[in-house]
A = this chain, B = another copy of it.
């Protein structure tokens, strides 16, 4: 069985487990006030070249998004997202449960444009009906998107300008940040992300950690009460150093850190698979730029791969004969697995 269904199906990079074992007998103060968390914070501040950024470690992505929105928005304010955005579709209404509307913008490839954001914000904010409508106050994008696509530096810059114009916070969901930053076609650095976004997170769960996500914010307003929002939502891990340690192991060493190495590898594997699929004439659903590949396969292709022990995500049947499928590489994908998939595709 060769598994390409997702990037969160295995434990952690061995370096992480070893580090956990090594410090297991030490005693630390709780709730993230320990020295390992401090080191991890320094690692990140260095990577983004922003000594005043505030950093917090949380357990998962939905938790992160929901708390970030609660910290950014007044009760009557709302967030703008692509219609395929994780907060718009796959978080069981977590954002609405904190009291906020998600304004969705149609998007074919998971991305939204500065112009779309401006149009939406303009409609709601420059409106006679003011208090009768929600007030957009944040923009949610993901890097890379749900479809593995990337924003260019220019696109992020344009979005930032629109956010400035309409007083919108820019929040970037980086569940797969590592895969985005190390993609071939990417021209954005983590420091750029920190410059354009008011807040974002560096995903651990899908990028080599056992679990955990690192929240980063340069906005004093968001910084002010973030830990209160975390605790109030059950997101202040008692043994906070477990999270700090993982990010320290992944991110120490700057641009050559483990995090980038293992994500870059996964992208390279994805490129090989992409080439193999393209060579068979398979139709990409969207031209992904990172570790997730979306293709339209025929029923016989689907069955053929399955017969050969290839495990992948079947998103849905577009019609009776065509399925939208996703192949996902990860930090744990091995050369052997990629060879097996490439061979299976070529059969």
Which residues 279-317 in A have Cβ within 8 Å of B in the complex?
A: none
8 Å CB contact of A132 from B9, B10, B225, B231: B231
Q: With an 8 A cutoff between CB atoms, is A62 at the interface?
A: yes
- Residues of chain B contacted by A225 (CB below 8 angstroms): 74, 76
With both chains docked as a complex, state the minimum distance between the C-beta of A210 and any C-beta of chain B, in angstroms. 7
Whether B14 and A24, one on each chain, are in contact in the complex, defined by CB atoms closer than 8 angstroms, is yes
Provide the A128-169 mask, 1 if CB < 8 A to any CB of B, else 0.
011111110000000000000000000000000000000000
- Residues of chain B contacted by A236 (CB below 8 angstroms): 60, 62, 131-132
Q: With an 8 A cutoff between CB atoms, is A89 at the interface?
A: yes
With both chains docked as a complex, state the minimum distance between the C-beta of A236 and any C-beta of chain B, in angstroms. 7
Whether A11 and B131, one on each chain, are in contact in the complex, defined by CB atoms closer than 8 angstroms, is no
Complex CA–CA separation, A24 to B11 (angstroms): 5
Complex CA–CA separation, A152 to B239 (angstroms): 31
Whether B90 and A133, one on each chain, are in contact in the complex, defined by CB atoms closer than 8 angstroms, is yes
- Residues of chain B contacted by A75 (CB below 8 angstroms): 70, 93, 97-98, 229, 232
With both chains docked as a complex, state the minimum distance between the C-beta of A317 and any C-beta of chain B, in angstroms. 13
Complex CA–CA separation, A237 to B238 (angstroms): 16
Whether A93 and B70, one on each chain, are in contact in the complex, defined by CB atoms closer than 8 angstroms, is no
Complex CA–CA separation, A157 to B30 (angstroms): 36
Which residues 1-43 in A have Cβ within 8 Å of B in the complex?
A: 1, 3, 6, 8-12, 14, 17, 20-21, 23-30
8 Å CB contact of A234 from B21, B28, B62: B62
Whether A239 and B8, one on each chain, are in contact in the complex, defined by CB atoms closer than 8 angstroms, is yes
Whether B21 and A17, one on each chain, are in contact in the complex, defined by CB atoms closer than 8 angstroms, is yes
Whether A20 and B11, one on each chain, are in contact in the complex, defined by CB atoms closer than 8 angstroms, is yes
Taking CB as reference atom, which chain B residue is nearest A99?
A: B97
With both chains docked as a complex, state the minimum distance between the C-beta of A99 and any C-beta of chain B, in angstroms. 5
Which residues 97-136 in A have Cβ within 8 Å of B in the complex?
A: 97-102, 129-135
Complex CA–CA separation, A233 to B17 (angstroms): 28
A211 and B242 in contact, given A93-B100, A96-B134 (Cβ under 8 angstroms): yes
- Residues of chain B contacted by A227 (CB below 8 angstroms): 130-131
8 Å CB contact of A94 from B8, B26, B232, B238: B232
A17 and B24 in contact, given A92-B134, A230-B131, A231-B91 (Cβ under 8 angstroms): yes
Q: With an 8 A cutoff between CB atoms, is A47 at the interface?
A: no
With both chains docked as a complex, state the minimum distance between the C-beta of A106 and any C-beta of chain B, in angstroms. 10
Whether B132 and A91, one on each chain, are in contact in the complex, defined by CB atoms closer than 8 angstroms, is yes
Whether A92 and B17, one on each chain, are in contact in the complex, defined by CB atoms closer than 8 angstroms, is no
Complex CA–CA separation, A50 to B17 (angstroms): 35
- Residues of chain B contacted by A59 (CB below 8 angstroms): 59, 234, 237
Q: With an 8 A cutoff between CB atoms, is A219 at the interface?
A: no
Provide the A224-250 mask, 1 if CB < 8 A to any CB of B, else 0.
010111111111111100100000000
Q: With an 8 A cutoff between CB atoms, is A267 at the interface?
A: no
- Residues of chain B contacted by A12 (CB below 8 angstroms): 24
A interface, CB within 8 angstroms of B: 1, 3, 6, 8-12, 14, 17, 20-21, 23-30, 59-67, 70, 74-78, 89-94, 96-102, 129-135, 205-206, 210-211, 225, 227-239, 242, 332
Question: Which 3 A-B pairs have CB atoms at the shortest separation, nearest pair first?
Answer: A63-B234, A11-B24, A93-B134
